[in-house]
Amino acid sequence: MADPTLGDQLIFWLLASLTTFFAIFTITRKNPVTAVMSLVATFFCLAGIYASLSAHFLAALQVLVYAGAIMVLFIFVIMILNREEVAPFSWRPLRVAGVLAGGYLLLKLIGLALGLPRGAPSVLPDDFGTVAAIGDVLFRDFLYPFESISVLLLVAIVGGVVVSRSHQKEVAAVEAAAYRHQIHEMAEHDYPGAPEAPTTPEGHH
Amino acid sequence: MTFNLRLIPLLPFLGAAILMLFGRKWKRDTVLLVAAGAIAGSCLVAFDAFFTALPQAAAAGGLHDVVGTWIAAGSLKIDLAFRLDALSGLLCLIITFIGFLIHLYSSGYMEHDPDYPRFFAYLNLFCGSMLVLVLGDSLPIMFIGWEGVGLCSYLLIGFWYTSNANADAGKKAFITNRIGDLGFLIGMFLLYHTTGTLNFRELTATATAAVGGSSGLMALSWLGAPVAFWAALFLFIGATGKSAQIPLYVWLPDAMAGPTPVSALIHAATMVTAGVYMVARMHALYLLTPGAMAIVAGVGALTALFAAIIGFAQNDFKKVLAYSTISQLGFMFAGVGTANFDAGVFHLFTHAFFKAGLFLCAGSVMHAMGGSGDITIMGGLRKKIPWTHGVFLVCWLAICGVPFFSGFFSKDSIIGGAFATEVFGQDVAWVGKAVGVVLMLAAFGTAFYMSRLYFLVFSGSETRASDEIKHHIHESPGSMVGPLVVLAIGAALGGFIGLPGGLFDHPEWNLLADRLTPVLGPEMEIAHTTEIGFMVASVVLALGGIGLAYLFYGGGYREPARKFAAAAPRFVQLVRDKFRIDELYDRTIIRFVKWLANQIFFFVDRILIDKVMVGLPAAIVDGFGRFARWCQGGDVQRYMAVFAIGAAVILYFATQPMHTFFSSPLKVTVSGLAVDVDAHRSSKPADRELDYSFEFDDDGKPAPPGTAPVAHHVYAKPGTYTVRVEVTDPNWGTSSTLKQKVEVR
Amino acid sequence: MPTFYYLILSFVLFLIGTAGVLLRRNALIALMGIELQLNGGNLAMLAFSRELGDLKGHVFAFFIIALAAAEAAVGLAILVALFRGRQTVNLDEATLMKR
């Protein structure tokens, strides 16, 4: 590929700045819903950048899965949970130090990146980034990882359900059993050796 | 000539070991059999060695037995070896024979004691150690025995350890001994440093060869005195500790807290004589320094007189005998201090018999009096315990120096020798005479206080004790009386081995001096008139002392005694309180030492050990624990923050081209004005491309950077320059600087 | 555009994500920060994939998206369970396992 055209540059800078802007917007919002919306916007911009990188399939996936599915999940959860925010930001020194360390890493990596040979990106085949091409690689070379990912998703589903399951029924059952035991002991105490009174077994109703 | 000398100390050691392991389960008779059997075995071997084997080997230095090499470190080689010549052989005989008698006596004396096996184990251990001391071929071996008898003395004095007083007495003995041992050690070190050997034969040879010279042992040291003087003096300090002379005698009277057989064996016949033996053994060294000998003789004489005076006013039977021992030891030291080695050893021999006899009589009397040793309530025991009285009579006459008993010959030869000695040279010949005069006074004192003891205990018709004690008075059993009689015979006849044959032109009558000549040199020559004169004087003094005592105490407390006590009560009390020397020591030295120990305890133990050495590691571990606990705080964002910080740190360090924290790895080779600088970190080729920029401090212009880690440069003028190499990593943009000073000529 | 531009953008996104995770008390926002980090990684993957002409980067990015989905699901489930117990999504109060 030759030097980037004006169009390419324009698209890049536009999308890049939008992405950055929305990303910063996301993490600085007090209202989680706003943050989610902003994140969705970030993802859209990123999808655009992917497309400019000839990653068509990934761009589509980004919108479908990330912006479509994951963010919807987020919104559901936000609506379930209470929204309270005493102090949104936590400026603890260690965390700030972590961010600064991250900034140091960023600078170093930028320096490294700038020093990389500015080779031209290679010539890409026509079907680079299309579904067919990726599917080809995916089902050929990466079959096992692909199947593992499926299993992973299954595990995630099951795990999610299990973790967020309500434990009300169990607690009630335990309490009922304890209560029944207590009654039995009182009966034994008052009338030792008396024959067991017929109890109506559960589940007959 | 070799002989199985090792058996002599080995048998008692075996006996001690066996008794310590199994003694408690055995019957009394078995215990006695093992213990006394071991000593008897040693005695037989010693007799055999001394009388049959030694005469042939005497000229060659005696019998020899090398067990093995003990220390071989550099130029220091000490063998575990024993040597039996006339001197050590005589002492072996004394130790084993009298030890055997005391074992028999103890079977009766300690009959009712529940710790019977332990007693005999300790007794055997003591005998073994004492034999090692005496038979040792070199100063370190002697020191092993020296320490061993000190230990046994502590164990036996504090035998009835449940009483605080006994335990304290044991401690006092051990600690006072230890102070003396320091002197012994310093003397040993001096000798080794100067002569390079610690073996007795070699030391004697070196010392004899150094007479009149000015190097080696005679090399001048502190205060202008030769090394030999200081070595002899320090060794003598050790002797004052072990043999209870001024200033370290204070433990001996307290040691009477132990069982009486212990007092008889250790503090009369054997251990306390170790100091005298040591001086006699090192006689060649002492002969080099008349100054040290003067000190030895002077201290001995003064101690003899001082202890005798204290003995005038003691009311405890064993205490009188204790001070008597100190006094007689003073005589012995005066003897060896005036170069009259034969006489000193002779007195050692006779003293062993009559003093052991006196102590065992004390045990017998105390046994009769129901355990009390208070002579103020005794009296008239002559008829009631006749055997004990008979033995005591003989030993008493011996110690007073009544003619033809053993003490007469030995004490007289010491006094005569003191006056006649020529070892101090012409200028200070008065030292000998002064020593002699003091000894004569001490002899008079000896006669006085021993006679006081005799009269107060045995004479008279009335026992001053209460009725219940009087009814209890009975003679001791045969096991106790038997040894007493044997000792009495020794005390009576022992003097005949050292007859002053020289008087009658038959020097060979002096068997002892004859035997000792190969070891200690020829007998001292005393003019006939001097000798006879002092013999007469000694007899006069002895009879005078006895007479004065009779006047004061014959048949009990008499008028003159009461008048004297009434006239000077404070003085009498002072003497009875042993001149309050113990109190003086306590106030000056002991208090200071205790204070010092407390300070050290506070500083070292409380602060240094508890706070710093224990507290610091504990604090460090605690800090680590706290840190670890913090790390796992459960706060996820903390984890991520640490992640990020960690990654940044790793990145920083991983991208440094060279690590200059620990050392500067510039290899600089200088040859003339040219310098080769190699900035390689290791011999492996670099795995990264790095840029090197060399700066040679020449004119301020750094060389252009290149990729080669080596550079060559020629300086214009000689001097000291600093070579700087800057290494950069072009990818990461990091750089580090290495510096090295280089000197160019 | 030359690759390194995209790289720098991905680093920046990653940093913003990190800051979001570290500096926000609300657990939901922290999870969003994690999503941002993952996306930064994705971007780098795709940029190199284009430079090298290799589709493996796309496949990896595919996997990362799937993984992110799974992780978001489970994370949110945990959050729901947490909320049920403590009635709060404040991460600072969730440092102990036991109440």
**B642–A94 CB contact, under 8 Å:** yes
pLDDT surpasses 50 at A1: no
Answer whether residue A187 is part of any domain: yes
Distances (CA, A) of B340 to B364, B416, B422, B441, B469: 36, 10, 10, 19, 48
- Per residue in C44-75, pLDDT (tens digit) is 999 999 888 889 999 999 999 999 999 999 99
B 725-744 residues with CB below 8 A of A?
730-733
Note whether B688 and B602 are same-domain residues: no
Answer whether residue A178 is part of any domain: yes
Note whether B564 and B690 are same-domain residues: no
Low-confidence ranges of chain B (pLDDT < 50): 683-684
Answer whether residue A205 is part of any domain: no
Note whether B394 and B379 are same-domain residues: yes
Amino acid residing at B564: F
Whether residue B642 lies within 8 A of chain C, CB to CB, comes out as no
CATH number at residue C23: 1.10.287.3510
Paired strand residues for B713: B675
Note whether B318 and B444 are same-domain residues: yes
Note whether B650 and B506 are same-domain residues: no
**A114–C71 CB contact, under 8 Å:** no
**C13–A19 CB contact, under 8 Å:** yes
Answer whether residue C98 is part of any domain: no
The DSSP string of A134-184 is HHHHHHHTTHHHHHHHHHHHHHHHHHHHHHT---HHHHHHHHHHHHHHHHH
Answer whether residue C99 is part of any domain: no
Q: What is the pLDDT of residue B596?
A: 92
Six-digit token pair at B627? 């840190």
What mean pLDDT is predicted for residues A185-196? 76
Answer whether residue A30 is part of any domain: yes
**C24–A90 CB contact, under 8 Å:** yes
Q: What is the pLDDT of residue A174?
A: 80
Answer whether residue B661 is part of any domain: no
What's the rounded Cα separation, in Å, for the pair B100 and B35? 9
* Burial of A4 from C-beta contacts in 10 A (0-12 / 13-18 / 19+): middle
> Which residue segment(s) compose the domain that A2 sits in?
1-84+125-130
Q: What residues of B are in contact with residue A90 (Cβ under 8 Å)?
A: 637
- Per residue in A40-51, pLDDT (tens digit) is 999 999 999 999
Answer whether residue A80 is part of any domain: yes
Note whether B114 and B188 are same-domain residues: no
**A97–B645 CB contact, under 8 Å:** yes
What's the rounded Cα separation, in Å, for the pair B242 and A137? 101
Please state the φ and ψ torsions of residue B476, each to the nearest 5 degrees. Answer: -80, 160
Note whether B341 and B381 are same-domain residues: yes
Answer whether residue C39 is part of any domain: yes
Element (H, E) at C55: none
pLDDT surpasses 60 at A201: no
Place of tokens 């729901």: C80
Place of tokens 């002064």: B434
Interface test with C, best of A63, A76, A77 (most C CBs within 10 A): A77
- Per residue in B381-399, pLDDT (tens digit) is 888 888 889 999 999 999 9
Q: Which distant-in-sequence residues (6+ apart) come within 8 Å of B707 by Cβ? A: B689, B690, B691, B692
Cα nearest neighbour of C94 on chain B: B635
- Number of domains present in the structure of chain C: 1
CB B82 within 8 A of CB B136: yes
What ipTM score was computed for the predicted complex, to two decimals? 0.90
Six-digit token pair at B643? 């992640």
Q: Classify strands B719-729 and B734-744 as parallel, antiparallel or unpaired.
A: antiparallel
Q: Which of B580, B607, B638 is the last residue before a domain boundary?
A: B580
Q: What is the pLDDT of residue A38?
A: 95
Whether residue B629 lies within 8 A of chain C, CB to CB, comes out as no
Six-digit token pair at B644? 């990020």
Whether residue C52 lies within 8 A of chain A, CB to CB, comes out as yes
Distances (CA, A) of B676 to B666, B684, B710, B714: 10, 19, 7, 9
Answer whether residue B225 is part of any domain: yes
Interface test with C, best of B629, B630, B636 (most C CBs within 10 A): B636
pLDDT surpasses 90 at A114: no
Note whether A2 and A77 are same-domain residues: yes
Whether residue B706 lies within 8 A of chain C, CB to CB, comes out as no
Q: Neighbours of C (≥3 Cβ pairs closer than 8 A)?
A: A, B
**B640–C18 CB contact, under 8 Å:** yes
Q: What residues of C are in contact with residue A161 (Cβ under 8 Å)?
A: 77
Q: What is the pLDDT of residue A196?
A: 61
Amino acid residing at B16: A
Minimum distance, in Å, between the CA of residue B617 and any CA atom of chain C: 30
CATH number at residue B712: 2.60.40.10
What's the rounded Cα separation, in Å, for the pair A146 and B352? 106
Q: Which distant-in-sequence residues (6+ apart) come within 8 Å of C33 by Cβ? A: A26, A27, C16, C17, C18, C19, C20, C21, C24
3 state SS for B645-672: HHHHHHHHHHCCCCCCCCCCCCEEEEEC
Answer whether residue B156 is part of any domain: no
> Which residue segment(s) compose the domain that B625 sits in?
584-654
Note whether A74 and A4 are same-domain residues: yes
Paired strand residues for B226: B220
- CA quadruple B126, B128, B131, B136: dihedral, nearest 10: -120
Answer whether residue B147 is part of any domain: no
Paired strand residues for B136: B82
Answer whether residue B158 is part of any domain: no
Q: Which of B580, B601, B634 is the last residue before a domain boundary?
A: B580
**A16–C69 CB contact, under 8 Å:** no
A 122-151 residues with CB below 8 A of C?
122-125, 128-129, 133-134, 137-138, 141-142, 145, 149
Q: Neighbours of A (≥3 Cβ pairs closer than 8 A)?
A: B, C
Q: Which residue has the higher pLDDT, A19 or B477?
A: A19
- Number of domains present in the structure of chain B: 4
Closest among B655, B375, B341 to B515, alpha carbons compared: B341
Long-range contact set of residues B733-736: C-beta below 8 Å, sequence gap at least 24: B733/A111, B733/A115, B734/B655, B734/B656, B734/B657, B735/B657, B736/B656, B736/B657, B736/B658, B736/B659, B736/B660
R_g of chain B, CA atoms, integer Å: 37
> Considering only A56-70, A125-139, B91-105, B171-185, which range has the smallest mean pLDDT?
A125-139
**C22–B644 CB contact, under 8 Å:** yes
Angle at B439 between CA B435 and CA B442, to 5 degrees: 145
Answer whether residue C62 is part of any domain: yes
What mean pLDDT is predicted for residues A126-151? 90
**B635–C22 CB contact, under 8 Å:** no
Closest among A151, A148, A146 to A136, alpha carbons compared: A146
Whether residue B640 lies within 8 A of chain C, CB to CB, comes out as yes
- Number of domains present in the structure of chain A: 2
